[in-house]
Amino acid sequence: MALWRQQVRAVMRVRFLKLKHEGKFLRSILLFFGIFILPMLMIFTGLQLWESTSNWEITASSYFLPTEEKIQNKSSNLLILNDTGSEIEDFIAALKAQNIIPEITLEKNITSIPFHNGAIKISLEGKSYRFTVMCSAEPINCFPLLVNILSNTFLRLFNSTARIRVWSEPFYTIRSPEVKSDIFFICLSYMLILASGLPPHFAVSSMEDYKLQARAQLRLAGLFPSAYWCGQALVDIPLFWTL
Protein backbone atom coordinates (compact mmCIF):
# COMPACT_ATOMS: atom_id res chain seq x y z
CA MET A 1 0.00 0.00 0.00
CA ALA A 2 2.88 2.39 0.74
CA LEU A 3 4.31 1.74 -2.74
CA TRP A 4 0.84 2.17 -4.29
CA ARG A 5 0.30 5.51 -2.55
CA GLN A 6 3.75 6.66 -3.62
CA GLN A 7 2.97 5.73 -7.24
CA VAL A 8 -0.42 7.53 -7.11
CA ARG A 9 1.27 10.69 -5.85
CA ALA A 10 3.88 10.45 -8.58
CA VAL A 11 1.28 10.02 -11.32
CA MET A 12 -0.70 12.94 -9.87
CA ARG A 13 2.38 15.15 -9.98
CA VAL A 14 3.21 14.14 -13.54
CA ARG A 15 -0.38 14.65 -14.65
CA PHE A 16 -0.58 18.08 -13.01
CA LEU A 17 2.71 19.24 -14.52
CA LYS A 18 1.69 17.93 -17.92
CA LEU A 19 -1.59 19.87 -17.86
CA LYS A 20 0.20 22.94 -16.57
CA HIS A 21 2.75 22.98 -19.38
CA GLU A 22 0.49 21.70 -22.15
CA GLY A 23 -0.66 24.76 -24.10
CA LYS A 24 -2.90 22.86 -26.51
CA PHE A 25 -5.10 21.56 -23.70
CA LEU A 26 -5.51 25.02 -22.16
CA ARG A 27 -6.27 26.61 -25.55
CA SER A 28 -8.91 24.00 -26.37
CA ILE A 29 -10.54 24.44 -22.95
CA LEU A 30 -10.58 28.23 -23.32
CA LEU A 31 -12.04 27.97 -26.82
CA PHE A 32 -14.66 25.50 -25.64
CA PHE A 33 -15.59 27.74 -22.75
CA GLY A 34 -15.73 30.80 -24.97
CA ILE A 35 -18.14 29.15 -27.38
CA PHE A 36 -20.58 28.15 -24.63
CA ILE A 37 -20.10 30.81 -21.95
CA LEU A 38 -20.23 33.93 -24.12
CA PRO A 39 -23.85 33.35 -25.27
CA MET A 40 -24.91 32.84 -21.64
CA LEU A 41 -23.14 36.03 -20.59
CA MET A 42 -24.83 37.90 -23.43
CA ILE A 43 -28.25 36.56 -22.38
CA PHE A 44 -27.75 37.51 -18.74
CA THR A 45 -26.37 40.93 -19.66
CA GLY A 46 -29.30 41.57 -21.98
CA LEU A 47 -31.82 40.54 -19.32
CA GLN A 48 -30.17 42.75 -16.70
CA LEU A 49 -30.09 45.73 -19.07
CA TRP A 50 -33.71 45.17 -20.03
CA GLU A 51 -34.80 44.99 -16.39
CA SER A 52 -32.79 48.07 -15.39
CA THR A 53 -34.32 50.11 -18.21
CA SER A 54 -37.87 48.82 -17.69
CA ASN A 55 -37.88 49.74 -13.99
CA TRP A 56 -38.02 53.39 -13.09
CA GLU A 57 -38.60 55.36 -9.93
CA ILE A 58 -41.94 57.15 -9.69
CA THR A 59 -41.27 60.71 -8.59
CA ALA A 60 -43.59 63.61 -7.96
CA SER A 61 -41.68 65.83 -10.39
CA SER A 62 -42.92 63.70 -13.31
CA TYR A 63 -46.55 64.51 -12.50
CA PHE A 64 -46.65 67.67 -10.40
CA LEU A 65 -44.83 70.97 -10.85
CA PRO A 66 -42.44 72.09 -8.12
CA THR A 67 -43.48 75.73 -8.63
CA GLU A 68 -46.67 77.68 -9.11
CA GLU A 69 -46.75 77.38 -12.86
CA LYS A 70 -49.35 76.53 -15.41
CA ILE A 71 -49.68 73.09 -16.95
CA GLN A 72 -46.69 72.18 -19.11
CA ASN A 73 -45.19 68.91 -20.39
CA LYS A 74 -48.23 67.03 -19.02
CA SER A 75 -47.35 68.16 -15.49
CA SER A 76 -49.68 70.15 -13.27
CA ASN A 77 -49.91 71.47 -9.75
CA LEU A 78 -51.10 69.09 -7.06
CA LEU A 79 -54.67 70.08 -6.25
CA ILE A 80 -55.59 70.15 -2.55
CA LEU A 81 -59.29 70.23 -1.68
CA ASN A 82 -59.57 71.64 1.83
CA ASP A 83 -62.87 70.50 3.28
CA THR A 84 -61.84 70.80 6.93
CA GLY A 85 -63.11 74.32 7.52
CA SER A 86 -59.74 75.33 8.97
CA GLU A 87 -56.18 76.03 7.88
CA ILE A 88 -53.89 73.16 6.97
CA GLU A 89 -50.58 75.01 7.00
CA ASP A 90 -48.64 72.09 8.51
CA PHE A 91 -49.81 69.78 5.74
CA ILE A 92 -48.93 72.33 3.05
CA ALA A 93 -45.49 72.89 4.60
CA ALA A 94 -44.85 69.14 4.57
CA LEU A 95 -45.76 69.06 0.87
CA LYS A 96 -43.43 71.96 0.09
CA ALA A 97 -40.63 70.11 1.88
CA GLN A 98 -41.00 67.45 -0.85
CA ASN A 99 -40.57 70.11 -3.55
CA ILE A 100 -44.29 70.10 -4.34
CA ILE A 101 -46.17 73.38 -4.59
CA PRO A 102 -49.88 72.56 -4.13
CA GLU A 103 -52.84 74.47 -5.47
CA ILE A 104 -55.38 74.89 -2.69
CA THR A 105 -59.07 75.21 -3.40
CA LEU A 106 -62.28 75.23 -1.38
CA GLU A 107 -64.40 74.25 -4.38
CA LYS A 108 -66.13 70.94 -3.68
CA ASN A 109 -67.12 70.36 -7.31
CA ILE A 110 -63.79 69.44 -8.88
CA THR A 111 -65.34 69.13 -12.35
CA SER A 112 -65.41 72.93 -12.51
CA ILE A 113 -61.65 73.12 -11.86
CA PRO A 114 -59.20 73.04 -14.81
CA PHE A 115 -57.28 69.87 -15.61
CA HIS A 116 -55.00 68.43 -12.91
CA ASN A 117 -53.16 65.14 -12.84
CA GLY A 118 -54.20 64.38 -9.28
CA ALA A 119 -55.83 65.80 -6.20
CA ILE A 120 -55.98 65.13 -2.48
CA LYS A 121 -59.15 65.91 -0.58
CA ILE A 122 -58.81 66.55 3.14
CA SER A 123 -61.97 66.37 5.22
CA LEU A 124 -62.70 66.31 8.92
CA GLU A 125 -64.86 63.57 10.42
CA GLY A 126 -65.27 64.17 14.13
CA LYS A 127 -61.75 64.63 15.45
CA SER A 128 -60.11 62.58 12.67
CA TYR A 129 -58.87 63.70 9.30
CA ARG A 130 -59.87 61.79 6.19
CA PHE A 131 -57.67 61.84 3.09
CA THR A 132 -59.05 60.94 -0.32
CA VAL A 133 -56.82 60.67 -3.39
CA MET A 134 -58.23 61.35 -6.85
CA CYS A 135 -56.51 60.95 -10.18
CA SER A 136 -57.16 61.88 -13.75
CA ALA A 137 -57.71 59.05 -16.21
CA GLU A 138 -54.55 59.65 -18.25
CA PRO A 139 -51.58 59.64 -15.82
CA ILE A 140 -50.14 56.19 -15.17
CA ASN A 141 -49.16 55.24 -11.60
CA CYS A 142 -50.91 58.31 -10.24
CA PHE A 143 -52.57 56.52 -7.33
CA PRO A 144 -49.40 54.89 -5.90
CA LEU A 145 -47.62 58.22 -6.32
CA LEU A 146 -50.30 60.12 -4.36
CA VAL A 147 -50.25 57.46 -1.63
CA ASN A 148 -46.46 57.82 -1.50
CA ILE A 149 -46.77 61.62 -1.27
CA LEU A 150 -49.21 61.22 1.62
CA SER A 151 -46.90 58.74 3.36
CA ASN A 152 -43.90 61.09 3.09
CA THR A 153 -46.10 63.99 4.23
CA PHE A 154 -47.04 62.09 7.38
CA LEU A 155 -43.36 61.37 7.99
CA ARG A 156 -42.62 65.10 7.79
CA LEU A 157 -45.51 65.87 10.17
CA PHE A 158 -43.98 63.43 12.66
CA ASN A 159 -40.58 65.16 12.26
CA SER A 160 -39.01 62.16 10.53
CA THR A 161 -36.18 62.59 8.03
CA ALA A 162 -36.91 59.25 6.31
CA ARG A 163 -38.33 59.12 2.81
CA ILE A 164 -40.30 56.38 1.09
CA ARG A 165 -39.51 55.73 -2.57
CA VAL A 166 -41.56 53.72 -5.07
CA TRP A 167 -40.66 52.09 -8.40
CA SER A 168 -42.65 50.88 -11.34
CA GLU A 169 -41.78 47.33 -12.36
CA PRO A 170 -43.27 45.27 -15.21
CA PHE A 171 -45.07 42.05 -14.38
CA TYR A 172 -42.61 40.00 -16.46
CA THR A 173 -39.26 40.47 -14.68
CA ILE A 174 -36.21 38.30 -14.08
CA ARG A 175 -37.39 37.70 -10.53
CA SER A 176 -40.74 36.29 -11.64
CA PRO A 177 -41.13 32.48 -11.29
CA GLU A 178 -41.69 31.95 -15.02
CA VAL A 179 -38.48 33.73 -16.01
CA LYS A 180 -36.53 32.01 -13.24
CA SER A 181 -37.64 28.59 -14.46
CA ASP A 182 -36.76 29.47 -18.07
CA ILE A 183 -33.31 30.72 -17.06
CA PHE A 184 -32.79 27.59 -14.94
CA PHE A 185 -33.55 25.22 -17.83
CA ILE A 186 -31.35 27.24 -20.20
CA CYS A 187 -28.46 27.07 -17.74
CA LEU A 188 -29.08 23.37 -17.12
CA SER A 189 -29.01 22.64 -20.86
CA TYR A 190 -25.79 24.59 -21.28
CA MET A 191 -24.22 22.84 -18.30
CA LEU A 192 -25.13 19.40 -19.66
CA ILE A 193 -23.62 20.25 -23.05
CA LEU A 194 -20.56 21.71 -21.38
CA ALA A 195 -20.15 18.70 -19.09
CA SER A 196 -20.44 16.26 -21.97
CA GLY A 197 -17.89 18.18 -24.03
CA LEU A 198 -15.16 18.31 -21.39
CA PRO A 199 -14.23 14.60 -20.97
CA PRO A 200 -12.81 14.24 -24.50
CA HIS A 201 -10.30 17.01 -23.71
CA PHE A 202 -9.07 15.02 -20.73
CA ALA A 203 -9.03 11.76 -22.70
CA VAL A 204 -6.68 13.22 -25.33
CA SER A 205 -3.76 13.15 -22.88
CA SER A 206 -4.36 9.49 -22.01
CA MET A 207 -4.60 8.65 -25.72
CA GLU A 208 -1.22 10.30 -26.30
CA ASP A 209 0.27 8.19 -23.48
CA TYR A 210 -1.22 5.14 -25.19
CA LYS A 211 0.24 6.06 -28.57
CA LEU A 212 3.67 6.68 -27.05
CA GLN A 213 3.36 3.41 -25.10
CA ALA A 214 4.27 5.37 -21.98
CA ARG A 215 1.74 3.48 -19.88
CA ALA A 216 3.12 0.12 -21.04
CA GLN A 217 6.64 1.20 -20.14
CA LEU A 218 5.48 2.36 -16.71
CA ARG A 219 3.80 -1.03 -16.14
CA LEU A 220 7.01 -2.81 -17.08
CA ALA A 221 8.79 -0.56 -14.55
CA GLY A 222 6.45 -1.78 -11.82
CA LEU A 223 3.62 0.79 -11.86
CA PHE A 224 0.29 -0.58 -10.72
CA PRO A 225 -2.47 0.00 -13.35
CA SER A 226 -4.82 1.14 -10.58
CA ALA A 227 -2.23 3.65 -9.36
CA TYR A 228 -1.95 5.07 -12.88
CA TRP A 229 -5.71 5.58 -13.31
CA CYS A 230 -6.30 6.75 -9.73
CA GLY A 231 -3.49 9.29 -10.05
CA GLN A 232 -5.00 10.58 -13.29
CA ALA A 233 -8.51 10.69 -11.80
CA LEU A 234 -7.44 12.58 -8.67
CA VAL A 235 -6.33 15.44 -10.94
CA ASP A 236 -8.90 15.21 -13.74
CA ILE A 237 -12.07 14.83 -11.66
CA PRO A 238 -11.52 17.87 -9.37
CA LEU A 239 -10.47 19.91 -12.40
CA PHE A 240 -13.56 18.75 -14.32
CA TRP A 241 -15.95 19.74 -11.51
CA THR A 242 -14.12 23.02 -10.96
CA LEU A 243 -14.62 23.89 -14.63
Instruction: For residues 63 and 161, state if they share a domain.
Output: yes
pLDDT at 178 over 90: no
Instruction: For residues 37 and 67, state if they share a domain.
Output: no
pLDDT on residue 170: 63
Number of domains within the chain? 2
pLDDT at 172 over 60: no
pLDDT at 75 over 80: no
Q: What is the mean pLDDT of the chain?
A: 79
Instruction: For residues 201 and 222, state if they share a domain.
Output: yes
Instruction: For residues 95 and 6, state if they share a domain.
Output: no
Instruction: For residues 48 and 71, state if they share a domain.
Output: no
Instruction: For residues 41 and 68, state if they share a domain.
Output: no
pLDDT on residue 150: 92
Instruction: For residues 71 and 43, state if they share a domain.
Output: no
Percent of the chain with pLDDT over 70: 84
Range among 15-19, 31-35, 208-212, 230-234 rated most confident:
230-234
pLDDT at 169 over 60: yes
Instruction: For residues 107 and 161, state if they share a domain.
Output: yes
pLDDT at 116 over 90: no
Instruction: For residues 191 and 129, state if they share a domain.
Output: no
Chosen domain end from 147, 168, 189: 168
Write the CATH number for 158: 3.40.50
The boundaries of the domain holding residue 23 are 1-54+174-242
Chosen domain end from 117, 141, 168: 168
Q: What is the pTM of this model?
A: 0.49
Amino acid at 98: Q
pLDDT on residue 102: 85
Q: pLDDT category, 37, cuts 50, 70, 90?
A: confident
Instruction: For residues 32 and 3, state if they share a domain.
Output: yes
Instruction: For residues 92 and 186, state if they share a domain.
Output: no
Chosen domain end from 113, 140, 168: 168
Nearest to 25 by CA among 195, 241, 236: 236
Instruction: For residues 69 and 149, state if they share a domain.
Output: yes
Q: Average pLDDT for residues 218-230, to the nearest whole number? A: 85
Q: Average pLDDT for residues 183-207, to the nearest whole number? A: 75
